[in-house]
Chains A and B, each alone.
Chain A
Amino acid sequence: MSDRLVSELCGVRLENPLVNGSGTLDALVAGTLGLAAYVTKTITLRPREGNAPQRIAETPAGMVNSIGLANPGLDAFCGSVAPALAELAVPLVVSVGGWSHREYAEAVRRVSALPGVAAVELNVSCPNVDTGCISIGSDPAETRALLRRCSAASDLPLLVKLSPSVADVAAIGEAAAEGGAAGLVVINTVRGMAIDRDTLRPLLGGGGGGLSGPAVKPVGLHAVFHCFARTGLPIVGMGGVASTQDVVEYHAAGAVAVGLGTALLRDPGLPARILPELDGELARRGLASVAELVGYAHQAQAKALQEI
């Protein structure tokens, strides 16, 4: 693949701009499929079985999930999962979640000490747990305080994964930046739910869930656009990415890297098809690198405004 596709995220070199969204690719099962980094499923201090089924429901142009942060817990992750992940040929980003600032800081401290970890993602946006997590990521002051505490516990870049289901996602991004975040991951799933068509009761075991897939792409683009404008932080953009054009649009909105999630579940061959197309698209537009595309939509808007 050409050098045009090389990107960088918080000082971490990426061979291409595509990564997976946390929780959408089990590396030990699937390999990395051509992605430039591997982001783990969110790890919590204690093991979690996850929510009772039904956990997924199809929607028009997407799905609602209520997995509930199923994971083996920090001890098992550090002991038996992380050593295998460190063997992957791409940078490793460990996603962590918790129910208090103390839990996040403990998880950040311990995963930062593992060999081969390039960055830590703070999931403050899971819609499928009742407390902690998204309640922290819905409040700028909480987010700022969390980042201050976690920054003190790690020398690695901290990425903060934001929920679009808040009044002003960029305000949360700004608070994360003030607290010491190195980058943002935008967006997590959009809060949603499904009703069983026969019983007319909530279909998902967790009650509500998170909407993903092409249905949420405009929500993700909007969030990335405004986080880019107001924070200047490097952004991993995601939400409904399913094609080369989607990747290009997320870069234009301000993403230095682009996450594939739900589309990867449907078709793990997608990254291998997108990458050569993306290379061709950059060449066609006369761009020497992904970096030249990042934030392009903002320049275009300024220009359009001047013309008016």
Chain B
Amino acid sequence: MPPLHRRSLPVTAVEAVGAYTLLRLRNDGGDAGRPGQFFMLQADPEPAAAYLPRALSAAWANEREIAFLIDTRGEGTRGLAAAARISLLGPLGKGFRIAEGPALLVGGGIGAAVLPWLRSELAHAGRAPRTLLGFRSPAHAVCAALVDPEADVVLEPVLVTEPLARLLPFPGTVYACGPDPMLQAVAAVCAEHNVRCQVAMEAAMACGFGACYGCAVRIDGAWRRLCIEGPVLESGRILV
């Protein structure tokens, strides 16, 4: 049974990272989870404008701090960035599994938000990965430094799948997070080269713990709940 107890954590810093916002919370020693798992976040006290919590994976988390890189696009995310405290539920879902062998990180846009923590875990495991990131503008690409100061960065109209294709086949595991079309393309090219790949997906969620069935995505050829099956999945499970 997942932890279904909400806790309210103080916001210690809200920092602009180019076009994105880094929201840092002081953890109370509670479970920080694993890279790729997610939390349901709501400003505390609740703003009138955003009724549902927002599902976000941490950029990094430990017993002292939980940090989220946010694309503040609507009233909900702007409310999070303006809050003095955040009420959060989690960690929820299934995160990345650190596989044997070399690692390659692939991120698109705000999908980069989940990669700093994964990269440091991989580095701890002695598998510091090569990192490929794609963004729509230089302002969005500023966050690349949080993931990997030596990341290879491409900007639109170049897509991150182009440098990825040049590196395949790859004798290890690809870990990817980004918009659905990017993940489909990454999954397809990895399948083509028989390369193992894990993808972290995103879907609108009301609850995050399997009750609402709102976060359905195509998994194994059927509509399934991303919060329960994922949000990190073996890429073969999402190929259409």
In the complex the two chains form, what is the Cα distance from A52 to B222 in whole Å?
A: 10
CB-based contact A30/B4 at 8 Å: yes
Most buried by A among B4, B5, B206: B206
B interface residues, tally (CB under 8 Å): 32
One of B49-57, B119-127, B160-168 at the interface: B49-57
- Chain A residues with CB under 8 Å of B4's CB are 30-31, 33, 268-269
Number of A-B residue pairs having CB atoms within 8 Å of each other in the complex:
102
* Residues of B212-240 whose CB lies within 8 A of A: 212-217, 222-223, 228
Most buried by B among A25, A26, A31, A67: A26
Min Cβ gap A246→B in Å is 15
A62 at the B interface (CB under 8 A): yes
A131 at the B interface (CB under 8 A): no
Residue-wise interface mask of A (245-270) relative to B, using a CB-CB cutoff of 8 A (1 in contact, 0 not): 00000000000000000101111110
- Chain B residues with CB under 8 Å of A23's CB are 212-213
CB-based contact A58/B50 at 8 Å: yes
CB-based contact B2/A50 at 8 Å: no
- Chain A residues with CB under 8 Å of B5's CB are 269
B27 at the A interface (CB under 8 A): no
A55 at the B interface (CB under 8 A): yes
The residue that A49 contacts in the complex, of B50, B214, B222, with Cβ under 8 A, is B222
The residue that A26 contacts in the complex, of B48, B89, B210, with Cβ under 8 A, is B210
- Chain B residues with CB under 8 Å of A70's CB are 213, 216, 223
Residue-wise interface mask of A (35-70) relative to B, using a CB-CB cutoff of 8 A (1 in contact, 0 not): 000000100000001111111111111110101001
In the complex the two chains form, what is the Cα distance from A25 to B53 in whole Å?
A: 17
CB-based contact B209/A268 at 8 Å: yes
B129 at the A interface (CB under 8 A): no
- Chain B residues with CB under 8 Å of A24's CB are 211-212
- Chain B residues with CB under 8 Å of A62's CB are 51
In the complex the two chains form, what is the Cα distance from A304 to B207 in whole Å?
A: 42
Q: Besides A58-B76, A266-B206, 9 other CB < 8 A contacts?
A: A30-B211, A49-B223, A53-B203, A53-B215, A53-B216, A56-B204, A56-B215, A58-B51, A269-B4
